[in-house]
A and B are shown apart, each in its own frame.
Chain A
Amino acid sequence: MDYKDYYQPLGVERDASQDEIKRAYRKLARKYHPDVSKEPDAEARFKELGEAYAVLKDPEKRAAYDELGAGWKGGQEFRPPPDWDAGFEYSGSGFDGADAAAYSDFFESLFGRGGTGPRFDAGARHGYRARGEDHHAKVLIDLEDAYHGATRSISLRAPELDETGHVSVKDRTLHVKIPKGVKQGQKIRLSGQGSPGQGDGKAGDLYLEIEFRPHRLYRAEGKDVYMELPLTPWEAALGATIKVPTPAGPVDLKIPAGAGNGQKLRLKGRGIPSKDPGDFYVIITLSVPPANSDKARDFYKKMREDLPYNPRSHLEV
């Protein structure tokens, strides 16, 4: 087991006042709260902060932790000294059982599961119950999966309680049906697939958040899907019928004569399917052929003469 430096995640000195610790925690909690933060490691950081604060906000626990001495470094191999906590008594306030499973082995070796040691167990004999924690995970799918539906295997790593009441980390794989019509950011709730409850408590739920893998061609926005379509100047000017891929299969798209750069063409109902399906938008971009041969350069010169055109008239200079 590794020693944990609880002052370091909060960025405070060992002699910081309770007020300083609270301020530091509040500030960092806002920064790393998983519902707010876009930092990739927000959830891990937030857990680490929560554990550090659970110890340092409570003067009794903090005193006991400080008693271990300042000689330790975070990550160093740690064995608690025998009877290290003799003389300390915990009131164990500020805990709810649902949070306890999330704390580290180091925390548990010092403060017991749920932070109250024997009292926690004593409670269990009197019908203690807590609903299991909800779990959250992201599931990466392809945009095409939203059109057809799919089954995805998801590997999860979560602490679990065994029969003897000990917590161990277990890997499990779930096969989950991804329904047709899901959209970026939507959540699927798997009832009872979170942490088991304690005592008579019910198991928590598992929430899977849908995330689309970035696609080479398409971009989804809500139920609508967008794609860029490069056209030659003559296709845009004269109109054309062009074969265009969509996640539901290729279609022949009629480009009206006089189409302009950035113009959007809508294919109604070809977005993400559902009762009220989204639309598929083709965004026109004009691609100018390179003038990389004498023939091409001559052609451009002829255009200069035969097609007088000033795209900058609005600049008025």
Chain B
Amino acid sequence: MTKKILTGTLLDDQLHLSLIEICEACASRTEWVIELVEEGILEPLGNQRDQWRFPGESLARANAARRLQHDLGLNLAGVALVLDLLEEIETLRARLRSQELPS
């Protein structure tokens, strides 16, 4: 059997998704993604909706927002707060790790 090698899309800041692409990738309605932007959960580049470009990380963030909203019964303000706090914890953890250098 020949080995088939899959190539995925790396969700980093080099990747930019349009509003349509992000809706399609996280199986959500446009209105919901617009609400995420209005709540400051996603920060696309560009001013007009049809010019919005979402950095790759937005997709993981939108997916996490959807799960948190659905699983924990949070409203979007709550989701935004959770995501911001998680990011802060991650930064602090990274700083903590940098204090515990490998010996």
Residues of A within 8 A of B67 (CB): 33-35
The reply to whether the CB of A208 lies closer than 8 angstroms to some CB of chain B is yes
Could you show 22 A-B contacts with beta carbons less than 8 Å apart? A26-B72, A26-B73, A29-B71, A33-B72, A34-B67, A35-B67, A35-B68, A35-B86, A131-B27, A151-B5, A174-B6, A175-B5, A177-B5, A186-B11, A187-B11, A190-B8, A206-B8, A214-B102, A215-B102, A221-B98, A275-B14, A283-B101
The answer to whether B10 touches A179, judged by C-beta atoms less than 8 angstroms apart, is yes
The answer to whether B10 touches A30, judged by C-beta atoms less than 8 angstroms apart, is no
The reply to whether the CB of B45 lies closer than 8 angstroms to some CB of chain A is no
In the complex, what distance in Å separates the CA atom of A185 from the CA atom of B60?
A: 11
In the complex, what distance in Å separates the CA atom of A282 from the CA atom of B8?
A: 33
What's the A-B contact tally at a CB cutoff of 8 Å? 89
In the complex, what distance in Å separates the CA atom of A58 from the CA atom of B82?
A: 28
Residues of A within 8 A of B4 (CB): 175
Residues of A within 8 A of B63 (CB): 134, 207
In the complex, what distance in Å separates the CA atom of A174 from the CA atom of B3?
A: 9
Contact residues of A with B, CB < 8 Å? 26, 29-30, 33-36, 46, 50, 131, 134, 151, 174-177, 179, 181-183, 185-191, 193, 205-208, 214-217, 219, 221-222, 226, 228, 274-275, 283
Measured between C-beta atoms, what is the minimum distance from B90 to chain A in Å? 8
- Which partner residue on chain A sits nearest B4 by CB separation? A175
Please give the number of chain B residues whose Cβ is less than 8 angstroms from any Cβ of chain A in the complex: 30
The reply to whether the CB of B9 lies closer than 8 angstroms to some CB of chain A is yes
The answer to whether A29 touches B9, judged by C-beta atoms less than 8 angstroms apart, is no
Among A29, A36, A226, contact of B98 (Cβ-Cβ < 8 Å): A226
Contact residues of B with A, CB < 8 Å? 3-12, 14, 25, 27, 59-60, 63-64, 67-68, 71-73, 82, 86, 90, 94, 97-98, 101-102
Residues of B within 8 A of A50 (CB): 71
Residues of A within 8 A of B6 (CB): 174-177, 190, 193
If the complex has contacts A151-B5, A187-B60, A217-B102, are A182 and B10 also in contact, measured as CB distance less than 8 A? yes
The answer to whether B11 touches A36, judged by C-beta atoms less than 8 angstroms apart, is no
The answer to whether B11 touches A189, judged by C-beta atoms less than 8 angstroms apart, is yes
The answer to whether B5 touches A33, judged by C-beta atoms less than 8 angstroms apart, is no
- Which partner residue on chain A sits nearest B93 by CB separation? A38
Among A35, A177, A182, contact of B7 (Cβ-Cβ < 8 Å): A177
Residues of A within 8 A of B59 (CB): 187, 189
Measured between C-beta atoms, what is the minimum distance from A224 to chain B in Å? 10
